[in-house]
């Protein structure tokens, strides 16, 4: 059984849908970073290859670092990247509502669907579980919620009901025949 400490990157302060757009994280809250560092175990760190996750992982020093992993990225929102809900809904209300209300196979134009994100995350966690017993993973809202869905056997809708704050920690365990999550969205 492998234990993953999933950390959501520092805030970007962006107002639109931020998936693969590479925005920096605001890591100016040194007290929050210190609490996060104190809470996490002294185990290796891996992150998504997007700079907001890389910089947050770098702030968790001194811990051994693994190579950045693009499989840990946020959902790709395609042509909806960096656009707000109101704008997207005005353009195509049926697709916009289906994307959020019935997640699964519905994709943003040129983007990724929830099921594809979940499959990508599952592949990454299974691969990482074969390589290590315990790991800090600095990633994104969608990646963390997908991991919770997989660990708890939830529907996409139930998984997306979880709140995942910036600089929060969600623990999931993956092993042959056993998966579980908790605590979810812990703020150290």
Q: Strands 45-47, 134-139: parallel, antiparallel or unpaired by DSSP?
A: parallel
Q: Is residue 76 part of a domain?
A: yes
Considering its fold, how many domains does the chain have in total?
1
Q: What integer pLDDT is reported at residue 176 of this predicted model?
A: 83
Q: Is residue 101 part of a domain?
A: yes
3-state helix, strand, coil in the chain (%, to 5): 40, 20, 45
Q: What integer pLDDT is reported at residue 77 of this predicted model?
A: 97
Q: Is residue 164 part of a domain?
A: yes
Q: Is residue 188 part of a domain?
A: no
Q: What integer pLDDT is reported at residue 30 of this predicted model?
A: 97
Q: What integer pLDDT is reported at residue 131 of this predicted model?
A: 94
Phi-psi region of 110 (alpha: psi -120 to 50; beta: other; left: phi over 0): left
Phi-psi region of 177 (alpha: psi -120 to 50; beta: other; left: phi over 0): left
Q: Is residue 187 part of a domain?
A: no
Instruction: Identify the CATH number of the domain in which residue 61 sits.
Output: 3.40.50.1240
Block mean pLDDT (10 aa), the chain, length 188: 97 95 97 98 98 98 95 97 94 94 94 97 96 97 98 96 98 92 97
pTM of the complete model? 0.96
Rounded CA-CA distance 90/116 in Å is 25
Q: Is residue 69 part of a domain?
A: yes
Domain that holds residue 55: 2-181
Q: Is residue 186 part of a domain?
A: no
Strand, helix or coil for residue 69: coil
Q: Is residue 120 part of a domain?
A: yes
């Amino acid at each position: 059984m492998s234990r993953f400490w999933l950390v959501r990157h520092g805030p970007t302060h962006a107002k639109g849908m931020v998936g693969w757009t590479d925005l920096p994280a605001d890591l100016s809250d040194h007290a929050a970073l210190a609490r996060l560092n104190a809470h996490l175990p002294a185990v290796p760190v891996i992150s998504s290859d997007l700079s907001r996750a890389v910089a947050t992982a770098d702030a968790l020093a001194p811990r051994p670092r693994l190579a950045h992993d693009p499989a840990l990225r946020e959902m790709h929102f395609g042509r909806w990247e960096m656009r707000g809900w109101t704008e997207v809904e005005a353009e195509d209300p049926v697709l916009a509502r289906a994307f959020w209300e019935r997640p699964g196979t519905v994709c943003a134009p040129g983007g990724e669907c929830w099921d594809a994100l979940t499959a990508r995350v599952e592949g990454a966690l299974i691969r990482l579980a074969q390589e290590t017993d315990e790991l800090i993973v600095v990633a994104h809202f969608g990646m963390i919620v997908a991991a919770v869905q997989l660990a708890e056997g939830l529907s996409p809708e139930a998984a997306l009901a979880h709140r995942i704050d910036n600089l929060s920690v969600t623990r999931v365990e993956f092993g042959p025949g056993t998966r579980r999550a908790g605590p979810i969205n812990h703020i150290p």
